[in-house]
Structures are given as structure tokens and as C-alpha cells.
Structure 1
């Protein structure tokens, strides 16, 4: 039986048969103004985490995690800079320890570079995840200008989480779908997430 790694969202883990299969690369696709980062923060509480940031500085990410309303861990944060982000990110990934998390935030910076090099990088990441029994989450921003490498990320990913934020007249709804799940069954229903003090499943009412 394939070993699973918990996300920390209890009901979601149960729906996924215990969590994410070890060795999986997860694409978390969400709007830039969403609270999807809370999902990443809570993931750091589950196990040791290497947090590779390609946008904000190490200090900014550390401050965000420290002040997060969710439970968090103490991830190792590395800021990738320079003209060769894929090569620089690969150096950090190669040091990923056993049974840990890798978070890449955001993946967009890598998705805008050479397609072949990016595909090779994803293959290297997946090989390392398999060898260490770890999991990776690539945070993919679904903004106005989606990078050309997004289809590659979604194709190579073992699991795809699509998080959509809907602003209504009296509340904000975060709807999570899992259209792709290698090593298990994709969810057939939409999961309503509560992204506030902790990441929870909102079962207060059905989704329209």
C-alpha cells in the first residue's frame, strides 16, 4: 500500500485516502489574492519543510509564517535569485532531506523559462521526491498572465489542486477541486475550504 503524507486538513486527508502519496508533486493553482498561502503555512506543521521562495525575500516569508493564524512549523527558507532560477532552485532541491515537504512559491518564475530545462527540472524533482519519500507543492498563481509553462506543471504534477475564490454579497467562498490524483481517485465533489484561523472544510451548507 502506498504511504500517504498528511496535508494537515483532516477532512481533506480523509477524502484523499489518508493524504498525498509519498513522492508526489502537487500543483496548487490559486488566484494571487486568495488565502492559499495558509494551506502552505499549515503544511509546514506536518513535517520538516524546505520553502523555496522565488518572489518574496526569506525575511518576508518567515514573517508571514510566524504571524500566520494557522498552526505552522519552522521551515528552512531559501530565496532563489539571479538569472538562472531553475539551476539555483535545483541546488536547494538536491539537499531535500528524507520524508519532508518541498514548497516552491511561486512556480511562475520557473514556468517562464526554457521549456526543456523546466521539464528536466520537474523530472529531477520527482526523482528526488521518490528517493526521499517526500512531497512537493508548487504554488501556481492563476493571474491575468499565466506563464507558458503552466500546462507542463499541470501535466507533470501527480496531484492538481484548483482553488477558486468567489466573492459574494455577504461572504467569500474558497472552493477546492482535485481533478487529478495519481495513486488514488480524484475527488468528484467540490470541497469548500475555510481559510481563516486554520484551514478547514466548511460543511455549513451545500455549494451551489
Structure 2
């Protein structure tokens, strides 16, 4: 099984080079967090089809980085990712996005990344249809030897969120804590099928880039 870089060097170091090809990845985060920065980095190392189910394609395009800049300004060549690929941003049907997502997954180039941002409109489908959707999505991604990244916001989620996390091979849980003096972001990886989940949270600095936060926690 090939390992594909995530675009975030600290994760690639923790996971011996990246994520297994064919993986379906879920990134859970608060809607008001900087999780879009992580999704942006996931889209950079390889050819990517970025499907937006809520925001307009223009809005997504404006926030994506296209200069290959990574953590703390490092380039793709510095990270050894083999160079950034092209990212094509597409809007899905707002009322029924499932068919659009499956069509894109069926045409996913070899070793490419499929980003689904975000999961909530898909999870609104009935349980049977949504389960079949995830099965088909996983098959298409595995056939392409690529990775699917599902951006899933926390909140008043319906019963299909459990199905999303059950089918996923990897679950990233970004937890943002706001105190009177700082904003702390910790990335927890409770599930890593085919590998080892992290034993401890990663403290991240999410500003205009993604980097490791080396500041000490003060009780």
C-alpha cells in the first residue's frame, strides 16, 4: 500500500510519510475554527478535485494557496512532496450533492485527492442512501489509489455522522479552545485504520499557515 503525503510535514513525520492510498479521511472541526487551513494543505501535494457543497467555487478559490507555500513558508520542494498539483474547485448541486460527488470520485485521477467541503448536506440524505454513497465513494478512491478528505463540522449533527466516522479510515478531530489570553488548537487522531493512531494530541498553530505550536501550556 502506497503512502501519500498530507501536505503537512508534522503529520507526515508522525505517520511515516503520510496516509495510506485509498483512505477516506474525516476532519472534524468547529465551524468557527481555522480548519480550512488544514483542508487547504491536504489539497496541495497532488492533483485535487475540491467539491464545495455550501460555499461558492469563487469563495473557495480565493482562500486556497497556489504558491506551494507550506508550513512556515516552506516550499513543496523543501518538504519533498514532489511538487504541488493542480486543484480544480467545483460546486455541487445544493439540493442533492451525492450524485455530483460520486461522479467526481469515479473520474478521480490516479493518486489524486478528493476534498468534500463540507459533509453536512450529504449527511442529510436518508440512512440507506448515505450508506451506499460512502461505500461507492470508498471504492472509487481505492480504485484511483488516492485519498478522499471529508470536512465535517461539529454541531447538531444527525445520525449519519456516526456512519461517516464508522466508514472513515482516518479521523482527525480538531479541538479549538478559547481562553481569556489565547486560542489553542489541538489535533487528535483517534482512528487510523491500517496504521497507528496518535497517543497524544498535536498542538498546532493555525494563523495563515499550519505549524506546530511549541509554546508551553500554562495551568
Relative distance call for 1:189 and 1:82 in structure 2 (3 A) is closer
1:47-94 deviations in whole A, cap 9, x for unaligned?
110001000111111112159996486411111114322122212221
Q: What does residue range 154-193 of structure 1 map to in structure 2 within 5 Å?
A: 154-193=165-204
Q: What does residue range 67-78 of structure 1 map to in structure 2 within 5 Å?
A: 71=70, 74-78=86-90
- Is this contact kept in 2: 1:12–1:201, CA < 8 A? no
- Is this contact kept in 1: 2:28–2:151, CA < 8 A? yes
User: Please, which runs of 5 or more residues in structure 1 have no aligned partner?
Assistant: none
In structure 2, distance between residues paired with 1:191 and 1:66: 23
- Is this contact kept in 1: 2:105–2:141, CA < 8 A? no
Give the drift of 1:190. Answer: 0.8
Q: What CA RMSD, in Å, does the superposition of the two structures yield over aligned residues?
A: 2.0
In structure 2, distance between residues paired with 1:68 and 1:196: 17
User: Please, which runs of 5 or more residues in structure 2 have no aligned partner?
Assistant: 71-83
- Is this contact kept in 2: 1:105–1:140, CA < 8 A? yes
Please state if 1:17 is matched with 2:29.
Answer: no
In structure 2, distance between residues paired with 1:50 and 1:207: 41
- Is this contact kept in 2: 1:112–1:148, CA < 8 A? no
Structure 2 partner of 1:110: 122
In structure 2, distance between residues paired with 1:195 and 1:74: 24
Tell me the matched-pair count. Answer: 206
Give the drift of 1:163. Answer: 0.4
Relative distance call for 1:195 and 1:146 in structure 2 (3 A) is same
In structure 2, distance between residues paired with 1:147 and 1:38: 25
In structure 2, distance between residues paired with 1:207 and 1:192: 13
In structure 1, distance between residues paired with 2:170 and 2:42: 15
Relative distance call for 1:20 and 1:66 in structure 2 (3 A) is closer
Structure 2 partner of 1:149: 160
Give me the TM-score of the superposition, normalised by structure 1.
Answer: 0.92
In structure 1, distance between residues paired with 2:24 and 2:139: 10
Give the drift of 1:147. Answer: 2.7
Which is worse superposed, 39-48 or 59-68? 59-68
Structure 2 partner of 1:35: 34
Give the drift of 1:9. Answer: 1.5
